[in-house]
Amino acid sequence: MTHSHIIEYFKELSIHPKNAEELKGLILQLAVEGKLTEKWREENPNVEPASELLKRIQEEKAQLIKEKKIKKEKALPEIEKDEIHFDIPSSWVWTRMQNYLDVRDGTHATPKYVEKGYPLVTSKNLYTKKLNLDNVKYISEEDHLEISKRSKVDLNDILFAMIGSIGNPVIVDIDLDFSIKNVALIKYYTGFEYCPYYILHYLNFKTPHLKSNSDGAVQSFISLTKLRNCVIAIPPLKEQKAIVQIVNQLFAEIEQLEEQTKKRIQLKEDFATSSLQQLTSSDTENAWTFLKPHFQTFFTTQPNVKKLREAILQLAVQGKLTHHWRKQNPNVEPASELLKRIQEEKAQLIKEKKVKKEKVLPEITEEEIPYELPEGWSWCRMQEVGLFQRGKSKHRPRNDTRLFENGIYPLVQTGDVSSAKKTDGIISQHKSMYNDFGLAQSKMWDKGTLCITIAANIAETGFLGYEACFPDSVVGFTTLDSEFISKYVEFFITVTKSDLEKYAPSTAQKNINLGILYELKFPLPPVEEIIKIVKIVNNLKVLCDQLETSLSEKEGVELDWMKSVING
């Protein structure tokens, strides 16, 4: 692909922020392959080939060795065919870095640091891809002179991190006397004009390969020998300058388009956030009417769709999704009657000794009510809407393998509940099985039970896809009336997740007790309205799923298209 082709596709390729770095990588690849300067070579046919430049450098090095200004280097191996991964123009030349550049390293020892002295630059000072002297440490003049004997840093030299985050090459653009540690110093031999930015671009292009071939099990590093042996494509010096000029121009255009893309996305996100806030305010009906036709326009990022999901559930538990439904169904049984039936059912279960008597909770005062509910709804404590029972076992498979060998009773733990997100809210798998139910379990929960986590990742929910038992970090909710109540409770738990997390102490493993769930102020609708709410939310979830799927497919198409443009 030529320079003009890239310009042609720029705006389309930059519609997604991820593409900016991909585009820069593409430009570097085209640059070091000589494809950005095809037209330049046509217009400049008589430029001295790079082989002549390399020949003069070798003569200069031989003279420096003769004058004992530099040491004689160990002969480098010939370049093998498998080291060359692309063709280059006839005026270019393949060589090893040491043949073209003076590649040295700084100290690998740890000098004694002093309060005032000479800066010691390490790989940490290169991570921003600029020479950053924030938090730099200082060494004495004696140590600095010792390091500088073989590795004196000058303006326009290149520094390259050799340890940790390998690469991040930078050009020395500040006139400051400093030393280097665990950093390679790449210099040009004296007497020749130098184009450091071409080398900088080549090193950025080559860094992924160097990283993949680095050494070190605990911390990655690249040796000076590997760096000196690195194969590099050298254009004529005048063409190097032309390449740098074109690359800089293209990078500037990418960054401008990237900034425009970010602003465009931010505007959409701001609009979506504002609309969702209006949805949960008193003007819900008008906001909803306005927003619905614009879903495809403004909910174009995964975070925005996540916010839409959260807003839908918030609207559901405030009764704002069923505003029209209530107008059409004015004579439904109020929530107070539903509460009454649930309490009667609980009393019967207590009488039959199937459940324990619950602690009486305080009435909700007027001051505690967070917002006004629609007519027919009731504020109650969450304990009142069904049975919440905690798992029993404190045993864990990793701590007591005797209880889990050859198990036959599924044990659903917090991680299994969290994983239900991936399977449409249904817990379909577990990692552990009990082999002795009576030893540490109180009951098997039925298929369809709503599971709520109260430890580790708090307030995760999922519905059992089979009978299972729980540890004490999972609570099971059993409805004593319509099965739709469990789904509505799940909506409410999801909405209050961040509030529940605040109750958890800052310990190694966060947890809340069952009493906190019991005392939550719960907005209970009439049972018929609960059924309608669940159906509406399920339909809106399908819309959100479709939005996310279309976003994923669109991103995939954009990436595939970009690859085809690159490869074309």
Burial per residue of 158-174, b for 16 or more beta-carbon CB atoms within 10 angstroms, e otherwise: bbbbbbbebbbbbbbee
State the alpha helices, DSSP H only, in 213-236. Answer: 224-229
In the numeric block, which tokens belong to residue 366?
Answer: 């007027």
Residue 312 φ then ψ, to 5°: -60, -45
In the numeric block, which tokens belong to residue 454?
Answer: 């109260």
Give 508's contacts (C-beta < 8 A, 6+ positions apart).
Answer: none
Same domain, residue pair 364 and 513:
yes
46 lies in some domain? no
DSSP 416-457: HHHGGGGGTTEE---SEEES-HHHH-S-PBPTTPEEEE-BSS
Mean pLDDT of the chain: 82
Same domain, residue pair 179 and 230:
yes
Same domain, residue pair 462 and 556:
no
| Residue located via tokens 């986590």 | 453
Asked if 47 contacts 217 with a C-beta cutoff of 8 angstroms, the reply is no
In the numeric block, which tokens belong to residue 71?
Answer: 């040491």
Is pTM beyond 0.85? Reply is no
For 173-187, what is each residue's pLDDT tens digit? 888 888 888 888 888
Same domain, residue pair 278 and 351:
no
User: What amino acid is encoded at 39 in this protein?
Assistant: K
249 lies in some domain? no
Number of domains into which the chain is organized: 3
32 lies in some domain? no
12 lies in some domain? no
321 lies in some domain? no
Per-residue confidence (pLDDT) for residue 502, from 0 to 100:
84
Same domain, residue pair 388 and 465:
yes
Per-residue confidence (pLDDT) for residue 130, from 0 to 100:
85
Nearest CA to 373 out of 483, 533, 544, 538 is that of 533
Per-residue confidence (pLDDT) for residue 408, from 0 to 100:
82
552 lies in some domain? yes
Same domain, residue pair 55 and 197:
yes
Last residue of a domain, one of 189, 205, 235: 235
535 lies in some domain? no
Distance CA 426, CA 159 (A): 54
Which structural domain, as residue segments, surrounds residue 286? Answer: 257-316+547-567
Same domain, residue pair 138 and 215:
yes
In the numeric block, which tokens belong to residue 187?
Answer: 């210099």
Neighbours of 289 (CB within 10 A): 9
In the numeric block, which tokens belong to residue 121?
Answer: 């630059």
Neighbours of 339 (CB within 10 A): 16
Q: At CA 535, angle to CA 532 and CA 538, rounded to 5?
A: 150
Same domain, residue pair 196 and 68:
yes
Per-residue confidence (pLDDT) for residue 306, from 0 to 100:
81
Distance CA 192, CA 145 (A): 26
Distance CA 263, CA 425 (A): 35
432 lies in some domain? yes
Asked if 383 contacts 515 with a C-beta cutoff of 8 angstroms, the reply is no
Asked if 139 contacts 111 with a C-beta cutoff of 8 angstroms, the reply is yes
Same domain, residue pair 155 and 301:
no
Q: Which residues of the chain have pLDDT under 70?
A: 1-20, 190-193, 216-218, 261, 264-301, 395-404, 438-440, 506-509, 552-568
Same domain, residue pair 59 and 124:
yes
Per-residue confidence (pLDDT) for residue 153, from 0 to 100:
85
Same domain, residue pair 377 and 507:
yes
Give 550's contacts (C-beta < 8 A, 6+ positions apart).
Answer: 296
Same domain, residue pair 122 and 224:
yes
Per-residue confidence (pLDDT) for residue 568, from 0 to 100:
47
Q: Beta 231-234 vs 426-427: how paired, if at all? A: unpaired
Q: Which domain CATH number covers 228?
A: 3.90.220.20
For 408-432, what is each residue's pLDDT tens digit? 888 888 889 998 888 888 998 888 7
Per-residue confidence (pLDDT) for residue 11, from 0 to 100:
53
Nearest CA to 105 out of 225, 231, 230 is that of 225
Distance CA 235, CA 38 (A): 12
